[in-house]
Structure 1
């Protein structure tokens, strides 16, 4: 078993419960870890034998482009898409962070972290 990490994926997205958040948007950060058996790809050196991190990045960007009220919702959509797209992924963990959230205080970011295993 091994891990593939995509760290600090930056997007400008339109998530939130306030009208201003969905109209103006803000900066987001996504960190993703997937667990898979990487022994075969380590030996073969073939992309077909691993989890394609270009595909993972595209899934994150596509789902982050769809507005949600809650970070939990967009995080779950990303996890669902990852498991649909790759039979090799056994577990995944995602953190979605809203940078400088409008919560009436000096807060760098608010994050939601979720994990899921293959059923």
Structure 2
């Protein structure tokens, strides 16, 4: 499918208990993510009707629920679970890019954040 539009969800800030280390599971931490959903937005650009697009409010609710439903040790596994949930719920989405960051990672050093960026295609 050719790319005909993208839905952007930027800097979604969630608190959860993910991570490899015991203190991450016990104390929890903030996670900040950006999602880019490739989908055909032509119909909604003409109709001006929410029913003709992917409702990003619903996507945020799904991501929040999925991200909190179980504990992930790795950001990579959490990102895959989010992509799978979005693909299962929204057939118009053909590809997803997820950037996920830990703003205060439990590692020595001074940095703004650590994180990952993964791209997923519906066909994968």
CA RMSD of aligned residues (A): 0.9
Q: Secondary structure at the match of 1:68?
A: coil
2:31, 2:73 → 1: CA distance?
Answer: 14
Q: Does 1:79 align with 2:83?
A: yes
TM-score by length of 2: 0.92
Gaps of at least 5 residues in structure 1 are none
Return the offset for 1:118. 1.6
1:6 to partner: Cα distance: 0.3
Which of residues 13, 28, 31 in structure 2 aligns to 1:28?
31
Moved over 6 A (4+): none
The equivalent of 2:19 in structure 1 is 16
Q: Distance in 2 between matches of 1:57 and 1:47?
A: 15
Q: Structure 2: any 5+ residue segments left out of the alignment? A: none
User: SS in structure 2 opposite 1:67?
Assistant: coil
Question: Partner residue of 2:63?
Answer: 60
Matches within 5 A, 1:31-110: 31-65=34-68, 66-110=70-114
Work out whether residues 101 and 108 of structure 1, in 8 Å CA contact, stay in contact via their aligned partners in 2: no
How far off its partner does 1:85 sit?
0.5
Partner SS, residue 54 of structure 2 = coil
Deviations 1:30-78 (A, max 9, x none): 1000011101011111111101101210122112213210000000000
